Structure 1
Amino acid sequence: TKVTILPRGRALGYTMVLPMEDRYSVTRNQLLDQIAYALGGRAAEEIVFHDPTTGASNDFEKATKIARQMVTLYGFSSSVGVVSYGGGGEVFIGRDMAQAREYSDEVAHQIDVEIRKILDNAHDEAYRALNTNRKVLDAMAKELMEKETLNPDDIKRIFKAVKKVPKRKLWLSKTSRPVSRKGPIPIPAKGSTTAKVAAKKRADAKATKEAAKKSASKKLTAKKPVPKKPAPKKPAPKKPAAKKPARAVKKK
């Protein structure tokens, strides 16, 4: 993570967050964290200055887009349900196009209400977290004014004093469904013997597969052996020409 107040393009500053690990999917709580994170700038302006600016407009756009996807694509709304409304350029909050839709005005209104609810809750979360950690917020602002850019080590040092906010309530797509208290199976920690053995097996299987693929490719591209041409026959040795008998000379 890197934070700077140096202008870049149209932005007066920015925060760069690099993922700690590759993710193939994102949980509902992680998306809510992203929305609260995006609304943190506006919440900080409200807490400190009591007079917010227009600088958070791009943050609102990102937050609204995530909230819209949660409701219309990912089934993260208990009232809308696990239905995909992502096609056709819908005309509810978070869309930048207006086209014909395949559902009623009532459903569109319900989607708008859910998006608004997600954004309002995330805004409240951001406000509470920053208000609880006002000293940390001021410490970061002070160091940014002095250094202009904070690296990961600076941020980690400042965040040691952060007070964590309470966890969100358990979410279910339907409140009538029973809550399972049995957790997932244990996952081997990185560096453990079990994890190393599993990683070695995956690596060996991958190497075997690649070797088999290369072998098959070589067989296909290998040239057929060219048959050797028979050696040319040596010409038979010429027989010596027969000598003509000498003519007898008559004596006079």
Structure 2
Amino acid sequence: MVNWTQMHDCCGDVDRVPELLEQVEREDDAEAWRELGYRLVLEHDLIFPASLAALPRLTRLARRSARARGLAGTILRRAAGHHGRDDLLEGCADSIAEFRALLDRHLQSRPVDYHPAFLDALAAREEYHWGAVLGDFSDDFYHLACPHCAVEVTIAIGDHGRYSAIRDWDLGDVDRRGLRPASSGELSGTGRWMHETALRDGREALADGIAHLFGKAECPDCASVFNIADEYASANRPVLR
């Protein structure tokens, strides 16, 4: 049982969120959903104790409500931020597992909101950094430091090409080197899950982009070769607070 007297929302209130949850559980009221979204997920990537406390009920609602599914996913994508209640997040483990299964079924239906749901599924797997930055590989750029010489390398994966380069703000991406995508047999862990899920759901462009992201790049400066995803994740994986 949630003690709502300790669960403030973005306005500092402790009573309005449970009232709104009861309202949307009774009927799909658009105005109530708008207010609930505002109170639970403020701009600038902020969430609050009430956001995490609401997750179990939102997960149950998500079985029949796209609004609930989207709001629960947004909360999870921001769960690595400064909300100060990791104990609440840990207490939601069963609900998050249920939400992962729900999202997997949703992805298999090949919905129009596939990419946002894919990002939500990553967050539900605690891959917050990929849930925050993974694009659809139409125009993706990842910036990281070469692990050998520390020069900043730009990784491009999209319609414009798949390469590593040194970014010159006057000349553009110079000294391009083609990326070396990972084969399906080389993928493991999150990369393998992402790739297999995209292929299963007929998202070939997404799967190809993931193979490149989890492949290797050559540093244009020192010619060393490194794993793109490993270096990016090690520099950007958040620490839960």
Q: Tell me the TM-score range normalised by the shorter chain.
A: under 0.3
Larger radius of gyration between Structure 1 and Structure 2: 1
Q: TM-score under structure 1 normalisation?
A: 0.23
Q: TM-score under structure 2 normalisation?
A: 0.24
Query: Relative contact order, CA 8 A, sep 6+: which one is greater?
Result: 1
Larger strand percent: 2
